[in-house]
């Protein structure tokens, strides 16, 4: 089998701390984060154990050329992926224009059948589904109840006011969107990129919860390495918005979220005081991967090389990493083997580092066991919280930036580390030749990428 070298030539990010790679990376190095109390309105629906989240200000899509028709058809997880893709393509200096309308005419460095799209997402367009479900179940019922309440005579004014107050809690969008199916489909993210950029190679969706982005990039890497395609748009996108807090509640009821009452240090990956992860409303990361020779031939910027991808499955629990960490360790050993290197060659690890008691305990034990020479370790989730299916892709962007810029961002809120590992405590300059970005997911799926400085 032909094997080819695979390089990263461009990247794009939409996140709570930056809507472009330069802005995002600047804020990473500054240690910026966005933590806010959950909306008070959510508390009328349940008593949350977790009190903070990382909300996500959506970009001004119209200023980027999107029309009302686009906003109707695409969930924000898709819109953000299209924006990040546009940035990544521009940074890669690829001649691959976004298509508008029904137009097949396109110039490109690559034949459409040699260009693929690989996107990861945990829950796809779930926000669109919940929004339309609420409209479907509540809108007419609420109208009828309103009419009945208004028929109550003046002697029942207190009851009328109380009922009207309760009716305010039945929140729904103003219409049932006829595009609810394509907005909700998890594969809409990859498909929309494929349609807009006329990629006719594999257009795949990876949905393995928190490892989705890493898995998607890994699959893209393999497709190029094996010579099936020459270029791939790969990454992950997630957007979890629901006006009553139901999506947040799902993670809250599962005891996965931080229970800290201190906004300044509620997000504490790898700290002994950690109590759970910080729920992120969303993020998107996209990378352009190319066959090395093709990229060099067209004079593309070479940011880093991907030299291995490895995965494993715990076969243990839908919601918790296997306590002995054996499959996580096996995945890393295989990654090193596939990359043809030794553990001590690794300079930096962008850890999964969620901040849950069980993940950080197991992950840190595995890292201590596999990497006895103590490479640098940080958790990008200490800045962003956990953006589920996007997290691995955003962390891949961070890992590539760390290699390209020879800089590392700090792992925030680390007062008492769970283990004596070499955690990055402040943003630093560091010589990084080889780095690992790894993810572990609900369901028991583990995935890791090996990145190398361009040589």
Partner 1 sequence: MSIESREAIFNKVKEVIEQAMFVENKVFDLTSRIIDDLGAESMDIACIMMGLEDEFGGEVTQEEMATMVTVGDVVDYIYHRMDSTNQPALAVAEGIA
In whole angstroms, the minimum distance from the beta carbon of 258 to partner 1 comes to: 35
Q: Which token pair is 258? A: 């931080």
Q: Rounded to an integer, what distance in angstroms lies between the CA atom of residue 122 and that of residue 82? A: 17
Task: Answer yes or no whether residue 146 interacts with partner 1 by CB under 8 A.
Answer: yes
Comparing CB distances to partner 1, the nearer of 65 and 323 is 65
Comparing CB distances to partner 1, the nearer of 145 and 343 is 145
In whole angstroms, the minimum distance from the beta carbon of 139 to partner 1 comes to: 5
Q: How many CB atoms lie within 10 A of CB 84?
A: 33
Q: Which of 4, 142, 316, 334 binds partner 1 (CB under 8 A)?
A: 142
Comparing CB distances to partner 1, the nearer of 73 and 380 is 73
In whole angstroms, the minimum distance from the beta carbon of 215 to partner 1 comes to: 30
Task: Answer yes or no whether residue 174 interacts with partner 1 by CB under 8 A.
Answer: yes
Tell me the CA distances in angstroms from 4 to 75, 151, 184, 250, 293, one per residue in order.
35, 74, 36, 43, 8
| Range 56-85, binding partner 1 (CB under 8 A) | 67-69, 72-73
Q: What sign has the CA pseudo-torsion 303, 453, 20, 359?
A: positive
Applying CB under 8 A, the span of 84-92, 171-179, 389-397, 446-454 interacting with partner 1 comes to 171-179
CB 454 within 8 A of CB 367: no
The candidate with the shortest Cα–Cα distance to 398, out of 381, 385, 415, is 381
The candidate with the shortest Cα–Cα distance to 230, out of 85, 310, 112, is 112
CB 393 within 8 A of CB 120: yes
In whole angstroms, the minimum distance from the beta carbon of 159 to partner 1 comes to: 19
| Range 98-117, binding partner 1 (CB under 8 A) | 100-103
Q: What is the DSSP letter of 102?
A: S
Q: How many CB atoms lie within 10 A of CB 81?
A: 34
Comparing CB distances to partner 1, the nearer of 2 and 165 is 165
In whole angstroms, the minimum distance from the beta carbon of 170 to partner 1 comes to: 9
CB 183 within 8 A of CB 176: no
CB 414 within 8 A of CB 22: no
Q: Rounded to an integer, what distance in angstroms lies between the CA atom of residue 76 and that of residue 238? A: 8
Comparing CB distances to partner 1, the nearer of 47 and 102 is 102
Applying CB under 8 A, the span of 95-103, 219-227, 256-264, 331-339 interacting with partner 1 comes to 95-103
| Range 179-218, binding partner 1 (CB under 8 A) | 179
Comparing CB distances to partner 1, the nearer of 147 and 420 is 147
Count of residues engaged in binding partner 1, rule: CB under 8 A: 22
Q: Which token pair is 286? A: 């996209």
Comparing CB distances to partner 1, the nearer of 134 and 332 is 134
Nearest 5 degrees, angle CA 439-CA 442-CA 444? 75
Q: Which token pair is 321? A: 């990493």
Task: Answer yes or no whether residue 157 interacts with partner 1 by CB under 8 A.
Answer: no
Comparing CB distances to partner 1, the nearer of 142 and 228 is 142
Contact residues for partner 1 (CB under 8 A)?
67-69, 72-73, 100-103, 138-140, 142-143, 146-147, 172, 174-175, 177-179
């Amino acid at each position: 089998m032909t094997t080819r070298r695979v390089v990263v030539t461009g990247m794009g990010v939409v996140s709570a701390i930056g809507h472009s790679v330069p802005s995002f990376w600047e804020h990473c190095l500054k240690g910026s984060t966005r933590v806010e109390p959950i909306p008070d309105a959510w508390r009328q629906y349940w008593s949350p154990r977790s009190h903070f989240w990382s909300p996500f200000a959506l970009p001004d899509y119209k200023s980027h050329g999107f029309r009302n028709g686009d906003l109707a058809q695409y969930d924000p997880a898709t819109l953000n992926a299209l924006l990040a893709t546009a940035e990544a393509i521009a940074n890669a200096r690829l001649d691959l224009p976004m298509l508008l309308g029904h137009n097949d005419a396109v110039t490109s460095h690559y034949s459409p059948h040699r260009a693929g799209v690989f996107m990861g997402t945990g829950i796809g367009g779930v926000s669109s589904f919940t929004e339309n479900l609420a409209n479907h179940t509540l809108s007419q019922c609420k109208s009828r109840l309103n009419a009945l309440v208004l028929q109550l005579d003046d002697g029942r004014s207190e009851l009328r006011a109380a009922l009207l107050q309760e009716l305010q809690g039945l929140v729904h969008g103003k219409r049932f969107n006829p595009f609810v199916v394509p907005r909700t489909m998890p594969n809409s993210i990859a498909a929309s990129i494929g349609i807009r950029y006329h990629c006719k190679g594999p257009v795949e969706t990876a949905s393995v919860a928190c490892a989705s982005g890493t898995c998607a990039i890994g699959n893209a890497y393999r497709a190029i390495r094996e010579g099936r395609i020459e270029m791939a748009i790969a990454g992950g996108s997630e957007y979890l918005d629901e006006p009553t807090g139901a999506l947040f509640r799902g993670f809250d009821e599962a005891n996965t979220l931080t229970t800290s009452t201190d906004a300044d240090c509620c997000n504490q990956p790898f700290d002994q005081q950690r109590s759970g992860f910080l729920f992120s409303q969303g993020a998107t990361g996209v990378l352009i991967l190319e066959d090395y020779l093709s990229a060099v031939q067209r004079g593309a910027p070479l940011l880093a090389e991907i030299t291995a991808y490895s995965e494993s499955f715990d076969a243990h629990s839908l919601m918790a990493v296997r306590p002995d960490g054996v499959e996580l360790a096996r995945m890393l050993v295989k990654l090193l083997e596939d990359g043809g290197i030794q553990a001590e060659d690794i300079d930096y690890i962008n850890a999964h580092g969620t901040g849950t008691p069980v993940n950080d305990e197991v992950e840190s034990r595995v890292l201590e066991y596999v990497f006895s020479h103590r490479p640098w370790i940080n958790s990008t989730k200490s800045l962003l919280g956990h953006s589920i299916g996007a997290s691995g892709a955003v962390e891949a962007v961070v890992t590539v930036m760390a290699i390209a810029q020879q800089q590392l961002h700090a792992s925030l809120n680390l007062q008492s580390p769970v283990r004596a590992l070499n955690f990055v405590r402040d943003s630093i300059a560091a010589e990084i030749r080889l780095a690992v970005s790894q993810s572990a997911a609900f369901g028991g799926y583990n995935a890791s990428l090996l990145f190398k400085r361009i040589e």
